[in-house]
Structures are given as structure tokens and as C-alpha cells.
Amino acid sequence: MKKLLFVIMCVLALLIGIYPVIYVFVEHQHTFLGSKSPEVLHDNIWKTAFFAHITFGGLALLIGWRQFGNSFRIKHLRIHRIIGHLYMISVVISSISAIYMGFYANGGLISAAGFICLGVTWLITTLVSIVKIRKRNIIQHQQLMTYSYACTFAAVTLRIWYPLLKNITQDPVNSYIAVAWLCWVPNVLLAYWINRNQHLPEA
């Protein structure tokens, strides 16, 4: 069961990780950009932040799942470290961009707060994990990276929750406000449960 869930997670991460490619082939009015006001779309700082966020966030999603699994880390430690560096750089760029974009989020103050909190949590867990691994605190590093990838995976859960809630409630605005929190808070709680159960002392 665990292996099946891991495979499903990986497939979803890969599918959503390549999502930014659609902005090359699809006219922007048919994408998320179509929901933004002309004032925001003409803001070069916002547009730079948006494309930085989806590009590096997509990369983090694509490569982050590979860091899980003890056998891979043991057999391919050098590759693990290379992927780790790429992941951390990608998250720092994408999370800072997300925090900035959060102030312009659709849905007003509540959704803005949700996305800003997600960006801050994503950034802090990743940066602190770097500190922990440099101090050779492997367990805390792994735990923090689990939280970090839970935040990264919000890109997937957002695209599951939003259409689901929108179809149930027929209220896209309030569905989006709810998803600003639902896309990541349950992920972090699940990461907490995983961390807690992985490091329980043996009886």
C-alpha cells in the first residue's frame, strides 16, 4: 500500500511538474493568467515572480520526490546531494516569488494570507533543513525536508481540491479561498504524522 501511494504521488508530481510548459503553447487568456486583472498583468515584477514561481516550483516538484527512500540515498549519495542542491535553490526562488504573488492573490485577504503562509512555511522548512544537514543532524534534516516537500506538493493538491470544491459548491470564488489553505495545511499535517511514525522509539 505504501509503495502504491508513493507511485501515485510520483506520477502526480511529474504530471503537475511539467505544467508550466503549457504557458509556451497555450494563449495566456486560457490559463491562470486569464483570471488576473490587466493592472497585475502589466506589472513586470509580478510577471517575473509568476514565471519564476511556476518554473522553479515545477522543477522542485519534478525532482523532490526522488529524495525519498533510504536505498536511493545510500546507493547514490552524490546524486542525492546534487538533486538536494537543485531542489533547495528551486524552492528558495519559487517560495520567495510565491510570497510576493500572495499579496495579489485572487479571493482577497483570506486567500492571500493562506498563500503567503504557505510560501513562508515552504521557505523556512527548506532553509532550516540546510542548517540541520550542515550540522550533520540527519533525522531533523529529513523531517524538515518532508515538510518542505509537503508544501511543494501543494501544487498538486490545489489542482485536486479546487475543481472538486467548485463542482460541489458551484462557487468558484469561495472554493478558491478555501483551497488557499486546503492545498497545503493537510499536507503539512500528513508530513507531521509521517515524521512522528517514522521515528517512534522501538518497544
| 1 — pLDDT class (breaks 50, 70, 90) | low
Per-residue pLDDT reduced to its tens digit, 17-31: 888 887 776 776 767
Lowest mean per-residue pLDDT among 28-37, 87-96, 181-190: 28-37
pLDDT digits (tens, 9 = 90+) for 159-184: 999 999 999 999 999 999 999 999 99
**Average pLDDT of the residues in 31-42:** 81
Residue 28 falls within a domain, yes or no?
no
Total domains present in the chain? 1
For 185-192, the CB contacts below 8 A with 24+ separation are 186/157, 187/150, 187/151, 187/153, 187/154, 187/157, 188/121, 188/147, 188/150, 188/151, 190/150, 191/146, 191/147, 191/149, 191/150, 192/147
In a domain, 34, yes or no: no
Give CA separation, 82 vs 88, 95, 150, in Å. 10, 20, 20
Position 10 pLDDT exceeds 70: yes
Q: How confident is the model at residue 122 (pLDDT cuts 50, 70, 90)?
A: very high
Identify whether 179 is part of a domain.
Answer: yes
In a domain, 8, yes or no: no
53 lies in a domain? Answer: yes
Within-domain flag for 135: yes
Note down the domain range covering 180: 41-197
Q: From the centroid of its chain, how far is CA 177?
A: 17
User: Is residue 96, in this structure, part of any structural domain at all?
Assistant: yes
